Each structure stands twice: as structure tokens, then as C-alpha cells.
Structure 1
Amino acid sequence: MPHGYDEYDETFTSEYLNCLGNYLLLSKSHNCAVGNIVFARKLATYTHNAQQREIATFVANKQLWGKDAIQLRHDKIIEALMTEL
């Protein structure tokens, strides 16, 4: 995908779009500024904290933010939460 995102098909919309792994802490101004730009350009702005910088580790070749990357990140967040309990 030249834009760097998975297709927003029914599965993506229902299972991944609002998944914990797809959420990222951003300021409102940062989120508005990056909006729906090409993922590679958006990724380059994720420099403000470790959580943002970590996004690159979930993306093979920094090319596609999609179901696989979102699931990997989701699983890592859940594992961290469960370890803390």
C-alpha cells in the first residue's frame, strides 16, 4: 500500500481500528497535524516519547501499519499489563 495502511475492510474496521494496539498517546495538536498523512511521514513525527518511537518496532521495513503490526502491539501491551498484576 503506497499510503502505508491496511485496507479499511470490514475486518479491519471491526477488529483493528479501535483496538488497543492501534491507540497512541499524542497531543491533540500532534494528532491534528498528522491526521491521515502517509504512514512513513507520520511515523517520522513519532519522536516525543518512548511509546511513540516504539511504533517503528512493530512495522516491518517501516512500510505498513496494518493488522499484523496492530496485533503485535496489542499483544505486547496486554502482556505488560498482565505482568504488572
Structure 2
Amino acid sequence: MEREITDSESGLGVKLIISESPTRSQWEQAYEQAENVEKKRRRRKRRRKKRRKKRKEEEEEEEEEERGGGGGDPLPGLKWEP
């Protein structure tokens, strides 16, 4: 007889499908597996965040270069008359 056991206390959403009562080692393995999944998810999220930040900084640098750097008046002695 198979049963599906979900651990709702931990909030990790671990499911074990077993034919007898879970042993301590089965629970430990399930927790460990869920923790590893969560660690991988956090790591991916952190990497994505770093990539986005780096890409944004590069785009800002490119925009600044296109605008001509620091702004300022290129020829301070001359005035533009329409």
C-alpha cells in the first residue's frame, strides 16, 4: 500500500511516496533534497540579479559615452546663434 506524505510543518513542500512509515533517514534525505533545491533556486536568483545589474551598468556607460561624456560646454568661448 503506497501513501503520499507531505511535510507541511517545514513549508518546504517535500513529498515522500512510500509503502511503509517513513524512517528518520528518509525524512532527513527529503529535507536535505528540499534544502538543496532551495539553495539552487536562491543561487540562480542571485546570479540573475548580478547579471541584470551588470547589464544595466554597461548600458548606462554606453549611453553616457554616446552623449559625449561629462556634458559641459564643448567650446566655452563660442555661442550658438540660430
- Greater RCO structure (CA 8 Å; 6+ sep): 1
Structure ranking higher in strand proportion? 2
TM-score normalized with structure 1 length: 0.30
Query: Larger C-alpha radius of gyration, 1 or 2?
Result: 2
Q: Which has the higher helix share?
A: 1
Q: So what's the TM-score if we normalise by structure 2? A: 0.31
